[in-house]
Amino acid sequence: MNLYNLIKTDRKTINDSTINAYVNCLNKLCNCDIKEIRKINNILDKIKDKPITTKKNIITACIVALKAQKEDKYNKCIH
């Protein structure tokens, strides 16, 4: 299942435009590779020079994607 459908299934109340924004953000950052999203230190290093609002949006997209996975191995990254 692709990331868009995964998020849509997990969060039924989120608008399609919001899901698209998350997916686009993660696609630019790491090609929507959930294994790369899980490497939070790499993500933080990639976004260190970005404005704070951009950082917030990227981190939010990462959290939404990891939560949508519903796998215990990703809980450490989220909490």
Mean pLDDT over each residue of the chain, to the nearest integer? 86
Q: Binning pLDDT at 50, 70 and 90, where does residue 16 land?
A: very high
- Three-state SS sequence of the chain: CCHHHHHHHHCCCCCHHHHHHHHHHHHHHHCCCHHHHHCHHHHHHHHCCCCHHHHHHHHHHHHHHHHHHCCHHHHHHHC
Q: What is the mean pLDDT of residues 11-39?
A: 89
Q: Is 79 a residue whose pLDDT tops 80? A: no
Q: Binning pLDDT at 50, 70 and 90, where does residue 48 land?
A: very high
